[in-house]
Structure 1
């Protein structure tokens, strides 16, 4: 759980840097699958610093997924929005209202309940059908991103955020299904495709439209689906007699994170600011 929370700190801080970089990049084609936009964002130090933090967070996420249920890791990663809110307040001068500080406290309370209720990771290894299904979902994420590029800004941001979250959710589940560097395991390719699609679509979502909507979609996409897969197919279970506490903690943590979705929004660039 400590590794999951460490990953949340890394991802939450990275999101501030990446959102600013994505907004500062030159507008792209408007497509959800805009690789040129990602390349332009990579020229900015903020985006590169964010990627570095994402790399550290991913390593911590893998460690966490190897020891605790997916639903606990997913809720902890959703709590990265609380980290984003606090980092924005400290480094960027963003003001948090009393209700938003309360939402941060709600996230922490939810995670505490989850930490107390979570058992060990399930023993399920996952069938070949599940691994192929993950690969298909990762491909679908890219297709949805391409179609979403033609939507108006607000629904576009929500759909892209939800698709990006689904891509990252594929990564969460795939980590549990990879035992070693086997090139014949479909879960390996699902991980690579899902992670790449997630980054691509999230960058496009942050570049234009409501980042609050995109962030809310991201939280939903990377928590609910993977948690269900872990419980139904991989045998993730809470401690004996504490299922109610695990469900409550998961719901509370995700609800608190959604209340903080606006902190995916980058601050306005000051005149004369450099990238």
Structure 2
């Protein structure tokens, strides 16, 4: 017979500690997937921006270099400019900050009427009923002419330039964010300022390249090189100033336990 003194109390076994390794591994995988998705989205936005840049440059290049349709220089199937007659149907001015914008509405022979911005000298030369010579590329009027005076039109130039700048700037923001997802909140100012700077510089550089009008391949290569420089410089800056890097530098090497 066992007495109470002979009995040995049995201690409850300690609860098994759950390993946190699977949770950490899942988080690492999710962060890796997020980085890949951000990188792909950044590249997609950037590529779309460069496509718009190429389209704008091709249009401007064609306006200056494409031969007149129906001439010996115009090869079958190649890009050429057409000539039309148009008639001024309306004139008006619009105040813009400290200047005045001069506008014309011109009726076309083969397309609906369009409104165009012209300079003050050309505006004063014409009046409602004046017949103008129109230069057209791919259905779009890019030059008005009257008695030897020509007026280049840039009404539709700025929207695509701004659009491609915004796309490329947003692409750089996501590209900067992808390697540093844990620091995104702390460095959002750096990301946004870098993207805004890239967007402004993209618009300015594109406008400058359009004015110079080098060969298309050379211009595209310059655009890609400038983007690579901006991306590399921005990445180095963010990498060197990221909170994670500062934490590593201040903590120093861990002593072996």
TM norm structure 1: 0.31
| Higher-strand-fraction structure | 2
* Structure number having the greater helix percentage: 1
Structure index of larger Rg: 2
Which gives a bigger RCO, structure 1 or 2 (Cα 8 Å, sep 6+)? 1
TM-score between both structures, scaled by the size of structure 2: 0.33
